[in-house]
Structures are given as C-alpha cells and as structure tokens.
Amino acid sequence: MKKLGYLLLLIGLFSCQEEVTLPLTTLDEVVPVIEATWTDKPFFNEVKVSLAENYFDTTDITIISDAQVSILVPGTQERIPFRFNNETKSYKPISNNYVAKVGVTYEVQVRWEDELYSARGLMLEAPTLDSLTYSYQEERLFREEGYYIKVYGKIPFEEDNYYRIRVIENDTLRNDRDDYLLFDDTFGLKFFEEGLELNYPFEEGDKVRLELFRMNKDTYDYFTQLVGLLFNDGGLFSPPPQNPETNFKVDSGKGKVLGYFLVSPVLNESIFIKKE
C-alpha cells in the first residue's frame, strides 16, 4: 500500500479528444505523520512518527527518532513514557506493565521540535470472538475457488460498534487496499454470529491469524477514508483525493499533522488450513 503521509495531488483531467496534464501540487512544508496504537496487549502498543511525502513519491519514508512521546490519563498524574526502538523504528513504552484498561480515556502526546501534538481515545469493552472455520468453495460470482474462512463471534453493544479485522497469513500481515476489513452496525450485527466470511481465499497449508479491533468512531472514519483514498484512481469520475481526517490536533506551534490514534482491545484467533 502507499505510505501514510501524503500531500494529495490533483490528477490529470481527460477529455474525449485530448489528454490534459495539470501541474502536480508538491509538499512545501514539513508535516509529521503519527500512527499511534494503544491496546490491552503490550505487543501492539507503539507510536510511529515519520514525515509526510508527496502522493507519488517512491523514496523511503523519513523516520523521526528524536521526538518526545508519552501517553497519559487526563485528570490524573499517570503518564507512560515511550522511547525510540531502533529495531521497530517506532516508540515503545518503557515497560510492558502498562496497557489500556476498559473505560479509561487516554491521551497520546508527541513533542517534536517546537510543536506539540495530541489525540485522545476511549478504551472500549471487547466483543466476543468465538471461533474460526473454513471450507473449500468452488468458483462463485466475484469469488475465486479456494478455502474460505468464516469468523464467528458476538457483539452485544448498542453503540460504538466500529470494527477492523486484520489478517496475518503465514506470519505476514495482509496490508493491501483489499485487506482493510472494516464493519459497523449500519446493517445490524447478526451476521457476525452467523459467520462473517472473509472475502478472499486461502490455500492448503496456510496458517491464518485474525486480530479483531473495536475502535472509536474517529479512528474508524480515518480508516474508511484511507480505504477510499487507496481505491481512488484519479480518473474523471473519481472524487478529488484527500488525506484522511486525523484525530490529532496541534496543541502548540503552527504546523500541521496527519495520522491517527487508535485505542482498542485486541482479540486473536488462529487456524491452520488442512486438506478436507
């Protein structure tokens, strides 16, 4: 997938007789991109800070390693410091004893140079992830043949129903634009109890792990806008591409910021596909 952190560009317009190429907007200021995750599982907790790039820039992203990062509980003295980890190229809590607790609002703060950025999120209760099953399916309309996985669970909540499923196939995170599995309660949640089928097939011998996140709405909106951006081809009938709306704000300084703060419980379930 394209890197987060993009000044979006106006794509060329086309007429039926002549191709018109417009000059592309370029990034003329330093804009940090913050990807912060705070959960009830220490493995997932980290803050990544990099610099935004132009939309079509193919060079490696620039990692910011000299920021001051912490997570705090507003209204209390609790503050969790982070330090930069050279192996992960991200900021990690100084201790794995710190994790998100249900019902607590957390604030992440990132200070870099003369700027201070922050975002807040409420830790919500986790739904239930019961089991995974799979079955071999012949080729169907919009479905290739192969082994399809169904996810079974239960979501008893009447509000704040915003979810993402991440798929790790043979120890590799599926992270293309088709792999952002997002759902809410727009059409109800009964289908989750009846089995939610993943929309792509797997093969015999695959080991698959699913991670289920329950997000705050602003983070969910960020990811849905990101998916829309990733599917935007810049064509005549596509809307003008734009950055996903961040839930970060600039507390001090005059700069801009991109990115998200995800506060969420995480549920895991794995399955190994054998020949039927």
216-252: pLDDT as tens digits: 999 999 999 998 888 765 555 556 668 899 999 999 9
148-194: pLDDT as tens digits: 999 999 999 999 999 999 999 999 999 888 888 999 999 899 999 99
pLDDT of residue 14: 38
Token pair recorded at residue 133: 């099953």
**pTM score:** 0.86
Q: How far apart are CA 179 and CA 165, in angstroms?
A: 9
Beta strands in 177-273 (DSSP E): 181-184, 196-197, 207-214, 249-252, 258-264, 266-272
| Alpha helices, H only, the chain | 190-194, 217-230
The contacts of residue 15 (CB under 8 Å, 6+ apart) are none
Q: How far apart are CA 221 and CA 247, in angstroms?
A: 10
Specify burial of residue 76 (Cβ count, 10 A radius: 0-12, 13-18, 19+). Answer: exposed
